[in-house]
Amino acid sequence: TQSTPSPLPSIADVVEKVTPAVVYISVEYIEFSFFTQYLRTKSGSGVLLRSDGYILTNNHVVEDARNIEVLLPDDDHTYQAELIGADPLSDLAVIKIEGQNFPTVSFADTSKLRIGDWVIALGNALGLEGGPSVTIGIVSNLERSFTLEESTFYDVIQTDAAINPGNSGGPLVNLEGKVVGINSAIIYTAQNIGFAINANTARRVYEDLVQYGRVTRPYLGVTLRTVTPALATELGLSRNKGVLVWYIAPGGPSAEAGLKTEDVITHFQGQEVSEASQLIKLLWEYDVGDRVGITFWRGEEQHEVWVTLAERPEGL
């Protein structure tokens, strides 16, 4: 049966609920040149997730900070913030301000998010005075992966809600006022394309940063590439669809399990995989020490191995 389209509720109610938890972040950092150094400032947004002052933002907002200040929409006080932990791989970081009973928002379960759902982006666009700016749009696509300024973004929500410089680190929320993503990147040459890190990924990163100060990720010990018909022809592969093992780390989990370069992975834990980013996203759902089943083709023969996941080394 077809569901009847529901009328769009008042966005004002959602904004009123979420805005108090959207903070303005001002950062001082040192910029070095050949002969001297300069004190610079940059700004962004963040979102309060715990009433005792834990704030999730983008790593690039607070990277290299020597001083972090936070302003709340309904508070004249300027708070000094401490960096709790940062994760450059996901472009997320957690900072903390001292105090209690701060307004908060919570994460949504984005497994139910669909293309075409309404979303609202909040943040301090362009560092303008007067509190967070609000834009509305829809989910244009899900599970995007792309590389921007040498950073690879996995499991990203694409939206046409306007995301401007300064919006970075602010929340993308659904019509219940729950966080479905963290605004993170904008492609400046394109119109109406903004990106947010999916809340299901952001939640795990946030929890790890709060608990450990860093993110522990499982590690296969391989470099992967998506198999295309052109790549299959070039390398003489028997499969023209799947995930190619491009490099194996000596002594790593995959090497120990018997995988080799130019093997083509077709299934991970019984789930078919056709893109490298898809396999990496699935991998991140598991923990260090878990055993995972990998089905792959070597030449004309299909094989299956079990790999015990190690911890991803820092700096990779």
- Annotated active-site residue 91? The verdict is yes
Question: Of residues 26, 43, 133, 168, which has the active-site annotation?
Answer: 168
Q: Is 197 domain-assigned?
A: yes
Q: Is 64 domain-assigned?
A: yes
pLDDT of residue 131: 74
Q: Is 272 domain-assigned?
A: yes
Does 225 share its domain with 204? no
Does 39 share its domain with 59? yes
pLDDT of residue 162: 82
Q: Is 5 domain-assigned?
A: no
pLDDT of residue 314: 74
pLDDT of residue 33: 82
**190 sits in which H/E element:** none
Identify whether the C-beta of residue 141 lies closer than 8 Å to the C-beta of residue 230.
no
Question: Of residues 91, 155, 208, 263, which has the active-site annotation?
Answer: 91
- Annotated active-site residue 208? The verdict is no
120-135: string of b/e by CB count within 10 Å (b at 16+)? bbbbbbebeeebbbbb
Does 154 share its domain with 206? yes
The beta-carbon contacts of 222-229 under 8 Å, at least 24 apart in sequence, are 222/246, 222/247, 222/248, 222/249, 222/252, 222/254, 222/259, 223/247, 224/265, 224/276, 224/279, 224/280, 225/276, 226/274, 226/275, 226/276, 226/277, 227/264, 227/274
Hey, what's the torsion of the CAs at 214, 215, 218, 222, to 10 degrees?
-80
Q: Tell me, what CATH number does 202's domain have?
A: 2.40.10.10
Q: Is 103 domain-assigned?
A: no
pLDDT of residue 145: 66
Does 90 share its domain with 25? yes
Does 93 share its domain with 116? no
Q: Where are the alpha helices (DSSP H) in the chain?
A: 11-18, 59-62, 199-212, 229-235, 253-257, 276-283
Task: Choose one of 158, 180, 212: the last residue of a domain.
Answer: 212
Q: Is 126 domain-assigned?
A: yes
Question: Of residues 26, 43, 45, 60, which has the active-site annotation?
Answer: 60
Give backbone dihedrals phi and psi of 92, rounded to 5 degrees, phi first.
Answer: -125, 150
Does 245 share its domain with 186? no
pLDDT of residue 278: 83
Task: Choose one of 152, 183, 212: the last residue of a domain.
Answer: 212
**What total of structural domains would you count in the chain?**
3
Q: Is 6 domain-assigned?
A: no
Task: Choose one of 212, 238, 272: the last residue of a domain.
Answer: 212
pLDDT of residue 4: 59
Q: Tell me, what CATH number does 244's domain have?
A: 2.30.42.10
Does 92 share its domain with 120? no
Does 135 share its domain with 185? yes
Using DSSP bridges, classify how beta strands 118-123 and 194-198 pair: parallel, antiparallel or unpaired: unpaired
- Annotated active-site residue 168? The verdict is yes
pLDDT of residue 6: 58
Range of the domain at 282: 218-311
pTM (2 d.p.): 0.82
pLDDT per residue rounded down to tens, the chain (316 residues): 555 555 666 789 999 999 999 999 999 998 888 788 888 888 899 999 999 999 999 998 999 999 999 999 888 899 999 999 999 888 899 999 999 999 999 999 998 899 999 999 999 876 666 678 898 999 998 876 666 555 566 678 989 888 877 788 999 999 999 999 999 865 555 567 888 999 988 999 999 999 999 988 899 999 888 898 999 999 999 899 999 999 999 999 999 999 999 999 999 999 999 888 788 888 888 989 999 999 999 999 999 999 999 998 876 6
